[in-house]
Structure 1
């Protein structure tokens, strides 16, 4: 039952936002009483924390699986983007914004975990790209991985990039192109063009 609650809550939170969804709506969607949910989660904040942890673990596992496929680094970045978009439903309700505003402690903890995982993933991607000649060999790995993370967080700021003007998928494509053009060799740019045609 706990897994079912997490799954249903995740769907509702992603579609409608963390603040907007009530415990009544979750119970109704599950066809159970609120008491059943409270058996597993003391309150909504505890449920939100568990759902974000669950989403983080699911996405991290998926990214690890993609990295094990040994694609070229640019193809890998776009495959990860497609996987994340599928799982986060194009973030139509801006869940990150609501999480940051209404559950700042959960947001801060999640952001730190995302940073730790992404640092390793991005630095490995950069090293691999340099090795096979897709990225320039004079890039600063630490700086590039941090600026990449900062940009990824930044494009989810709905005050800067209103959802009425940009879909998350469009923003991600623009950002990945921006990132890769800054570090790619001529060979890397050819691979980037190929990936951009696939969306």
Structure 2
């Protein structure tokens, strides 16, 4: 793994657990076993690391998503695969997003731009689901796409609950399963219920 990739991976690990502001460049260097100078030879500052990390996470997410988009893909099954992958990813401390929106406006703007781009794709994705007969014809796809992308803010609101009785991965999975089931036709609901039944038996 190249040094830049190593730095980004370790930054992801630390930022996700402790937030961004509480992780110093010295701590990042020490955890990698390299000098702080080496970090600055590859990145301008912490914001540059954060920006590069968010771009990498976006590109990795898009690449993983594209793997499921064959010509004959089923929209509901793709939703379920993405939900499954996302719910198994490392937990992200809500402080991570709090720090971005409070201290890093340029990165927050990048996230907003990504959300707007995803919104356009999601509308097309949901329309395909309608055409396939898995998503309800009466669905307002603009509102539905907006709700999916705005779900990030649910993490922020939940972070203010003292000792929440659920993990953030559980929150995401419950929220998204119920959302997809709610917008699905009977044909789509059968696929979701079969998935939930299989989950229960496992």
User: What stretches of structure 2 of length at least 5 have no aligned partner?
Assistant: none
Match of 2:54 in 1: 52
User: What stretches of structure 1 of length at least 5 have no aligned partner?
Assistant: none
> Quick check: 42-51 or 174-183, which moved more?
174-183
| 1:95-154 Cα distance to aligned partner (Å, 9 max, x none) | 22222222132112222213312430x22331232222221122222232123322x223
Instruction: Verify: 1:164 aligned to 2:159, yes or no.
Output: no
Matching of residues 42-191 of structure 1 within 5 Å = 42-68=44-70, 70-87=72-89, 89-120=90-121, 122-150=122-150, 152-159=151-158, 162=161, 164-191=164-191
In 2, Cα distance between the equivalents of 1:80 and 1:70?
17
Shift of 1:76: 0.9
In 2, Cα distance between the equivalents of 1:190 and 1:17?
40
CA-atom RMSD in angstroms: 2.4
Shift in alpha-carbon separation, 1:22–1:102, aligned structure 2, 3 A: same
TM-score w.r.t. the length of structure 1 is 0.85
Shift of 1:69: 7.9
Instruction: Verify: 1:23 aligned to 2:25, yes or no.
Output: yes
| 1:52-80 Cα distance to aligned partner (Å, 9 max, x none) | 12222112211222333854212211211
Shift in alpha-carbon separation, 1:192–1:141, aligned structure 2, 3 A: same
Aligned length: 196
TM-score w.r.t. the length of structure 2 is 0.84
Query: Is the 2:94–2:159 contact (alpha carbons within 8 Å) kept by the matching residues of 1?
Result: no
